[in-house]
Amino acid sequence: MQPSSPTRLYHNPACSKSRGALELLRERGIEPELVAYLERAPGAEELRGLLDLLGLPARALLRSGEDAYAELGLDDPALDEASLIAAMAAHPQLIERPLFVHAGRAVIGRPPERVLELL
């Protein structure tokens, strides 16, 4: 699955920000492909593609408040991009959400209104 497909939301239905972003899109008649990334974790290649679209380093996509962040020692500044990406691929709860991909661009939907920047 390529992250650059037209309209996709990496979604966690348990997250209020993710639900809010989906609601904003649907209010505008947009029905994105939903990627339940906790059920089907994106692999390292897909994450690299998303980071390229976001224009961000891997660390910017990490949820530092998750238990796995501390358990894996991800606060170590010596960790390289590949290590951080591998951690997110193995522990998808570490991936910031929601991620909205539209027309070859991507944005982290925090706050949810940020998804509207791509429309």
Report, as residue numbers or ranges, the catalytic residues: 15
CA distance 98 to 82: 22
Q: Is 106 exposed, middle or buried (0-12, 13-18, 19+ CB in 10 A)?
A: buried
CA distance 87 to 80: 11
CA distance 54 to 49: 9
CA distance 59 to 94: 10
DSSP label at residue 66:
S
Q: What is the CA radius of gyration of the chain?
A: 14
